[in-house]
Structure 1
């Protein structure tokens, strides 16, 4: 039909969804045909009913959300992992649910190899592979130690950690320091460039940041309010996961006076630290992640709650945890992100989804707050309308709106917060995550960035477990 033919007669309209649209058209005399369509849900009806009718659920979810909303985040120290979390020799932390060397993906293997070389446990790559394959290195998830790590998330005893405290609930959370972009350990690279940077971060960056943070607090200043920085970022075009420009600059502004005042350190080292932070647009990410971890840990262990407290991936599996089932993991095969690639890289070069950084979406920002950062689509793909629609859709699978994390373009509406397993199952809409992409082959580094969703099977398992817990309560 030609465009002229289409407009030659009154339109016949088919509508699905809420009645407001249909009613408005009918009021204008339009011919409207309503279709009772909705996204396909999943789950056993008996399990859905058990969870929906659990008399504890509404109150439990209300408590969980209140704990998330009230949690704070203060930067109180910078210390090596061996000190702050008691990380033992020949032990490495990694992102996502538990894994073994045999099940580790390329970038995870690359990061584990790089950490063994960095710590001096291996003399070369082959030696590192040998001790890892022999089980001489203990592997454990970051989340088991109140810790989060982006991408591979590998943390070794000599790495310096941000130490954050929740002044409301008293919790603590930790994260290593961000290396920047490109060929970095967290993306699975482990060459001389990576090793040189890690050594500088151990010998210069970490000690300077420790002296700066401690010096500021000792001088009577309040600890850096990281949650406040995170809230301001959303007003300035960041979404807190793949776009951290404003947050990194604000952090540099807050820390610079204390860094400059550090005594007993060569001026060249001070200049190098300031230049490194100023040139690293993702520097804040490793502060934002433990901020989200603090809030979500405050909501752990609430019987009857169907809210997520963890979404995380290790490059092989995706895992989730809920407030009502404690530390139990529900896992499935990690999906591969779809997005934009660097240089000549393409889809065949990308590894499946990896990293603890989905804690940002679990908290209600990152991919959930893409409307706050429409420029993010130039990094992860899609369009500006896609970014707005994604945030709108995530309101349908969450329990509340976080007023502290307001989104300007949506009339300062709070970000969608508190992912509800029941709502995900009923709607069939899975959480949206935006993420970096690591190369499938160990040693490659970053190959792009894109969008990804958890495997549905994680939520199917969580639904079953929550329903069982309901029946036995």
Structure 2
């Protein structure tokens, strides 16, 4: 911009910073526009999808459907009841995979799950069971309206949170959170891991069922979406930081855990141990945040012409996405190694590529997309506070809108970026940011760290190509 006298007042720079830096050195104000060319070989497909007459209204409907959903905690039941899971059937995180391609932590979790179910007397003997594949089966959690953190292994005897959208009656499910470190979801299967899982099944699950049902029947079910709203105002981002959410859940359930629990015959020591376990497990609420996000995103599935991502999930080998306008099809690429902080003496060579269904939180606009709500998260996953703020701002460039229910105080209560748009990712080259834990690459190790990761870039052009193909078929 110049004055009538030809004096330069400011400069707008698009793309490379070389010119901007030179102008700034001359004390001229510079507005920097972060422009990038589209992803390679996507120009033709972007043009086709952009011309689709269904796209705009379809994306509006998909985003609106997601934002309308509220999630309530209505029950806690075994997976055999919630998901009709039969002996020998195992669920796992991420897109479909077979034993021969399974990563170390997924194999470890499956081996531990087989021992938990009594299919083998020693987890080490389970490998032969899965190699034969005659009496066991593997299926993604997402295919049964469920989600699982990290390896995400679910067996029939595991207890599941049951979330429901009161407006539609639709339900989603997730197992109970075991805590951090050497736990099944990180691929550990030592005797203490199995002992904890049996306690979850024999004590905590039934006690939570008693409390959740008492609260539901007397005052209405726990409003999980409401807790998410509050915890984002209190320093959580609902993926790798859930401290406020866990404490609010404990606030809502603890009176009923005591009164209804004692009435139902649970010992005082069982109630005390359960309260102590939840209170000391900052990640306990994650297993409610995840199915709440899935419940919202599933409402957008099947919207013809929509380019909105409805699932991001990893099995430790593959990273997959699903899109509203392409049905249940998975678009997959190699899972990436996270960049972050390691526990103890562990380092990058000890970590497995990214794993888990927990990226459903980012898909819904929280987690890595809401890092600005939780600047303290950088102490757990790496980076800096300015990085956290910049990440949330950057994610707005690849999303369809904002969620007014979930806002970011430090950004003037702007809604979190919501509705990842395949076309915007391909047009800008900006990839979704995910906060994640890191599992050891060798079965049995457990957690080795936490950090930041993005999907493999090629899966978005693959999804775009499929959208373009569907657009052409409708023309």
Whether the 8 Å CA contact 1:95–1:354 is kept in 2: the answer is yes
Instruction: Tell me what 2:361 maps to.
Output: 360
Instruction: Tell me what 2:149 maps to.
Output: 150
Instruction: Tell me what 1:253 maps to.
Output: 251
Instruction: Tell me what 1:232 maps to.
Output: 230
Q: 1:340-373, CA deviations, whole angstroms, 9 ceiling, x for partnerless residues?
A: 0000000000100000000000000000000000
- 2:45 counterpart of 1:47: yes
Instruction: Tell me what 1:411 maps to.
Output: 412
Instruction: Tell me what 2:117 maps to.
Output: 119
Flag the 1:165–1:389 CA change in 2: closer, same or farther, 3 A: same
Give the drift of 1:294: 0.3
Q: 3-state SS of the aligned residue for 1:77?
A: strand
**Aligned residue runs from structure 1 range 24-103, under 5 A:** 30-31=27-28, 38-42=35-39, 43-103=41-101
Instruction: Tell me what 1:326 maps to.
Output: 327
Distance 1:359 1:305 in 2: 18
Distance 1:223 1:404 in 2: 19
**Aligned residue runs from structure 1 range 383-422, under 5 A:** 383-422=384-423
Q: 3-state SS of the aligned residue for 1:164?
A: strand
Q: 3-state SS of the aligned residue for 1:259?
A: helix
Give the drift of 1:54: 0.6
Q: 1:377-419, CA deviations, whole angstroms, 9 ceiling, x for partnerless residues?
A: 0000000000000000000000001000000000000000000
Distance 1:97 1:162 in 2: 22
Distance 1:33 1:166 in 2: 48
Distance 1:99 1:224 in 2: 35
- 2:219 counterpart of 1:188: no
Whether the 8 Å CA contact 2:318–2:334 is kept in 1: the answer is yes
Give the drift of 1:269: 0.4
Whether the 8 Å CA contact 1:12–1:30 is kept in 2: the answer is no
Whether the 8 Å CA contact 1:64–1:299 is kept in 2: the answer is yes
Distance 2:9 2:215 in 1: 67
Q: Which runs of 4+ in 1 moved over 6 A?
A: 11-14, 32-37
Instruction: Tell me what 1:465 maps to.
Output: 466
Q: 3-state SS of the aligned residue for 2:219?
A: coil
Q: 1:179-210, CA deviations, whole angstroms, 9 ceiling, x for partnerless residues?
A: 00110000000001101000000000000000
Instruction: Tell me what 2:442 maps to.
Output: 441
Instruction: Tell me what 2:175 maps to.
Output: 176
Question: RMSD of aligned C-alpha atoms?
Answer: 2.2
Whether the 8 Å CA contact 1:169–1:298 is kept in 2: the answer is no
Whether the 8 Å CA contact 2:216–2:222 is kept in 1: the answer is no
Flag the 1:129–1:12 CA change in 2: closer, same or farther, 3 A: farther
Q: 1:265-318, CA deviations, whole angstroms, 9 ceiling, x for partnerless residues?
A: 111100011001000000000000000000000000000000000000000000
Q: 1:20-46, CA deviations, whole angstroms, 9 ceiling, x for partnerless residues?
A: xx99x99xx955789987223214322
Q: 3-state SS of the aligned residue for 1:102?
A: helix
Whether the 8 Å CA contact 2:395–2:432 is kept in 1: the answer is yes
Give the drift of 1:88: 1.0
Whether the 8 Å CA contact 1:369–1:391 is kept in 2: the answer is yes
**Aligned residue runs from structure 1 range 339-358, under 5 A:** 339-358=340-359
TM-score with structure 1 setting the length? 0.94
Distance 2:96 2:105 in 1: 16
Instruction: Tell me what 1:199 maps to.
Output: 198
- 2:279 counterpart of 1:282: no
Q: 1:67-89, CA deviations, whole angstroms, 9 ceiling, x for partnerless residues?
A: 11110101000000000110011
Instruction: Tell me what 2:293 maps to.
Output: 292
